[in-house]
Amino acid sequence: METLRKEEQPRGWIRGNVPTIRTPRYLWVAAASVSVSSSRYLLVELNVNFPLHLCLLQFAALATVVALSCSITSDAPSLPLRNVAIPGCTKLALALLSTAAGMILGLQSLLHFQNLPTLMMLTATCYCMEALFLSILRNDSRSRLEVCRIAIATLSCAGILVGEYRLLPQNIETAIPAVLLTGAARALWSMTCRSSRDSIVTTRQANALLSLVGLLLATVCIFYRGDETMARLGSALEYRYLPLLAINLLATAAALHSGKSFLVPIDFAKNDGHGNNTSNVLSLLAMTGIAGLLSASKLRRSYTSWPQYAFFALVAVLLSSRDLGARYRPRWVAMYNAVSSDVDLQSVDSEGISVSQPSEDSEATYVAPASGDRKTVLLRIVLITVVLPAAWLTYFTLNFSRHIHHDAFELQPILDLTYAPQRNTEIVISMFKEPSDQVARLVSVLKAMDNIASDARVHIYIKDMNANVEELQQATGANEVTSLPNIGREGETYLKHILGNWDTLARETIFLQAGVHNLREFHPRVRDYFIPGRTGMLSLGWSGQVCNCDACGDRFDFWDTTHLFPKISNRINNGSKCDRVLLSYKGQFIASAKRIRGVPKAIYQDLHNAFVNQVSWAHQEEYLQGRPDSMNAPVFGFTMERMWNLLLQCNSMEIAWRCPTLLSGHRIGGNIEDCQCLDPKSNSSGPESRGRVQ
């Protein structure tokens, strides 16, 4: 934010002395792009899932930059805050709070929003919300055409969100408030600038206050959440990550110093001149193009559908349309009308140098040179006409390319191609004290599906020792009910079934808990994706979560502290390198006998022993690291929940980006193979598998 003194108004404000030159918009775009991409890489790719601590460090970096700038130069005296009217201070406080909160939520959304280009497209909502807040707070009267423009742009932003195929509740809980708060921040900063003729704070003071408010707010959030600690951050942040962290902090500090945010430039909101909307749209296009280019070319890539592109193009046109009419009006007319008749204009020569430079105390207006720096103009032309279109063209090409990473090494599955199952489908349910009528409804709905035979066998494992097995079997219609000790959650139940039915496994087994997670979305996932005779492994929980095999972790406070993932992978694949792991969640999936039996039986036996043996490594402090553990609620259960994809050799990174989330349900342009690993057709080993005789 530029100072609010008369002598330091932004370029284009004809008021008093020589105006200061603002930071070029393209420099903010460069800093914000580096900040967003490096933050995303740290939080997601490197599994440093600590957005609040990262935000704390970024605000500290801003404070350091402000302190260093104070040691080099000093601001001119400004009006003390105690002499400023209360409404001005209130607007300033609200602007600072909304800016800091928007940044904190913005980092959270970078962690949870799997498609980064979609998040960048949604930042267009900030400009819509800015117009809405200004209309409400300033009681502006807008034309019907202007109201329609804002309304259609807002609905188009909603269309971008609805078209997203990887929505999660965390996406909506973080991204929507982030853009709303950032839009409110732009409106509040704009009102703070335009409502006061005297100085409230200078640029440096505003940045200092923002860093202070941000540090306090981030600290409060860390203590309130309680799941982000410095100890866990230290264990996740390796020394080799420090150079990238330094780049991130430097870029973020630059973006905040010049624009108050890394989502949209807040600091330019005070310039209400013609062309500002077009500059906003160009910044939006640049940020989205860069984010799309980087995301589409990475292993955990993104995908944007044609409807999302169409909605975004409509938003861009609507946001810039306000400037189109102004371009037909000669600029000198607007400048002439902006200068009052009693202003003493100063003469300048052909080089733009004032012939009679006004003194510092003079109220005379100095007219800046009409022609800017030719190098700067040429750079802008190149960026807009060459670099920006090239980035978007590359983004388009990569986005619609099905396979990008030809060098990505994925191990081929080892299948038991000699096994001949005696039945097609079996439903295995792990039950504790869930109502029997709930389980009966679950079974009946599954059997009514076209891709699950009505004669599918149902086997319920009940871990409530007080349950009546015969009554439960009669109430649910199960073919068999087995009573088990309450040990090991559902993971132990599934392993028990596999080991006890090794030679009688069905062609496909549906492993479920009696209390199915995301029941509304669960049934469509089974109905739309399960292919009898072809499905090898189909996870029925959250999709698309990937971790590094050697240091696996996720944002739900899971860490493979004993390096079990690479050990299991090496045992299955005879020491072949394990690179990335596609995690499974919710303890519900469909697996084929070919995949199950393709893994040595001893591995299942060892995993089962980790559950049931009280002195096994899974119940020792070296593995637990202070986490509460018991036989009926073991910590190892969360590890097993995430390891089923690895264990059943369904580790395709194509699934990581193609599969829609349960909430979204489908992907525009997707197909039935997007969410699962398929087995070869009967009597054909195919090039995608290796046979193993048990």
Could you tell me where the DSSP H helices lie in 370-512? 374-382, 388-399, 436-447, 469-476, 489-500
Mean per-residue pLDDT, 385-398:
90
Q: Identify the pLDDT of residue 568.
A: 95
Q: How confident is the model at residue 191 (pLDDT cuts 50, 70, 90)?
A: confident
Q: Which amino acid type is present at position 664?
A: S
pLDDT band at 367 (very low <50, low <70, confident <90, very high): very low
CATH class held by domain 414-541+582-691: alpha beta
Does the pLDDT at position 79 exceed 80?
Answer: no
* Mean pLDDT of the 78-95 span: 64
Tell me the per-residue pLDDT of 614-670, one tens digit each, with 9 for 90 and over.
999 999 998 998 889 999 999 999 999 999 999 999 988 889 889 999 999 899 988
Average pLDDT over residues 366-395: 75
Residue 650, classed as helix, strand or coil, is coil
Close Cβ partners of 295 (under 8 Å, ≥ 6 residues apart)? 115, 116, 117, 301, 302
What pLDDT shows up at residue 136? Answer: 79
pLDDT average, residue stretch 175-201: 80
Q: Kind of pairing, strands 508-513 and 690-691?
A: unpaired
Percentage of the chain exceeding pLDDT 70: 79
pLDDT for 4 equals 40
User: CA 319 to CA 280: how far, in whole Å?
Assistant: 8
Tokens of 638: 């969360």
pLDDT at 368: 47
The dihedral sign for the CA sequence 151, 152, 153, 158? positive
Q: Considering only 35-49, 120-134, 393-407, which range has the smallest mean pLDDT?
A: 393-407
DSSP string, 91-144: HHHHHHHHHHHHHHHHHHHHHH-S-HHHHHHHTHHHHHHHHHHHHHHTT----H
| Model pLDDT for residues 36-71, shown as the tens digit of each residue | 999 999 998 888 888 999 999 999 999 999 998 877
The answer to whether the beta carbons of residues 385 and 560 sit under 8 Å apart is: no
**Residue partners of 419: CB distance under 8 A and separation at least 6:** 505, 593, 594, 597, 694
Does pLDDT of 140 surpass 70?
no
Helix 169-194 / helix 124-137 crossing angle, nearest 10 deg: 50
Per-residue pLDDT tens digits for 226-270: 777 776 777 777 888 999 999 999 999 999 999 999 999 987 555
- Is the pLDDT at 336 greater than 70, yes or no? no
CA-angle at 35, arms to 31 and 37, nearest 5°:
120
**535 φ, ψ (degrees, to nearest 5):** -65, 120
CA–CA distance, 311 with 322 (Å, rounded to integer)? 18
DSSP 424: S
**Is the pLDDT at 371 greater than 50, yes or no?**
no
Residue 99: per-residue pLDDT = 95
CA dist list (Å): 419 to 422, 506, 605, 644: 10, 10, 20, 21
The whole-number average pLDDT for the span 464-483 is 94
Beta carbons within 8 Å of 114's beta carbon, 6+ residues apart: 166, 168, 171, 300, 302, 544
Bridge partners of residue 429, in order along the sequence: 460, 512
Radius of gyration (Cα) for the chain, nearest Å?
A: 30
Cα 263 from chain centre = 13
**Based on the number of CB atoms within 10 Å of its own CB, is 640 exposed (0-12), middle (13-18) or buried (19 or more)?**
buried
Give me the chain's average pLDDT, please: 83
- The predicted model gives 516-523 an average pLDDT of 92
pLDDT of residue 20: 37
Is residue 520 within 8 A of residue 663, CB to CB? The reply is no
pLDDT the model gives residue 240: 87
Give the pLDDT score at 608: 97
Residue 166 has pLDDT above 80, yes or no: yes
Residue 567 Cα distances to 238, 280, 573, 648, angstroms: 21, 51, 10, 14
pLDDT given for residue 268 in this prediction = 55
HSE (side-chain half, CA atoms, 13 Å) at 346:
22
Share of the chain above pLDDT 90, in %: 55
What ranges do the domains of the chain cover?
A: 6-339+372-399, 414-541+582-691
Is the pLDDT score of 147 beyond 90?
no
pLDDT band at residue 14, thresholds of 50, 70 and 90?
Answer: very low
pLDDT tens across 578-615, in order? 888 999 999 999 999 999 999 999 999 999 999 999 99
With a CB cutoff of 8 Å and minimum separation 6, the contacts of 62 are 207, 210, 211, 214, 252, 253, 256, 257
Q: Give the pLDDT score at 183.
A: 94
Is the pLDDT at 292 greater than 50? The verdict is yes
Give, for 271, the enclosing helix (H) or strand (E). none
Phi-psi region of 557 (alpha: psi -120 to 50; beta: other; left: phi over 0): left
